[in-house]
Structure 1
Amino acid sequence: MMDTHFDQLLDFPCMQTFKVMGLADPTLPEQIVACLQEHAPGDYAPSVKPSSKGKYHAVSIGVRVTSKEHMETIYTELAQIEIVRVVL
């Protein structure tokens, strides 16, 4: 489990924007949304921004999180997507 202080910094439930950076694969946003649907079902509209050299994409997506544990689970699960490199 992560050793975070989200519960001290945020009032749950709340909206949190996750920024996921991964390889410039056209399926990256779909894989992120599929993962989120398992842990926080909802309607998602990811925003995708390519890197300057086009090798990576940054996907920003707002998610309603309900607790510190919920937020940590989402970070962990998004990071396990094979083409994801960083989750902020």
Structure 2
Amino acid sequence: MSQQQPPKIEFPCENYPIKVLGEAGPELHTYVVEIMERHAPGFDQERITVRESSKGRYHSVTVWITATGVEQLTAIHEDLRVNTNIKMVM
């Protein structure tokens, strides 16, 4: 059996979503915006969505960027994961 390969992304890729799940609090939103501005300057902050978990302990923050390449996405993921309040990056 051959393994199915994930679809290839064509860059630049507009409207690329990145979802960050972390402990609730304003620090999460601020940190996500800071990292996105560093790696995808000028992204549309009006499109950011924040959802609260059922018990309010976690928030998911979703942003949409124009992805320019694998290097950019890897750098974003690595910078987000440095923060110990962040539990998952998708």
User: TM above 0.5, one fold?
Assistant: yes
Partner of 1:76: 78
- Partner Cα separation in structure 2 for residue 9 and residue 79 of structure 1: 24
Equivalent pairs, count:
83
Where structure 1 has 5 or more consecutive residues not aligned to the other structure, the ranges are none
Determine what percentage of the aligned residue pairs are the same residue: 34
Where structure 2 has 5 or more consecutive residues not aligned to the other structure, the ranges are none
Consecutive aligned runs of 4 or more in structure 1 exceeding 6 Å deviation: none
| C-alpha distance after superposition, 1:20-77 (max 9, x if no partner) | 0000112211110011111111132320000001100011110111111111111111
Q: Which structure has the larger Rg?
A: 2
Q: TM-score, normalised by structure 1?
A: 0.84
Q: TM-score, normalised by structure 2?
A: 0.82
Q: Give the alignment's Cα RMSD to 1 decimal.
A: 1.7
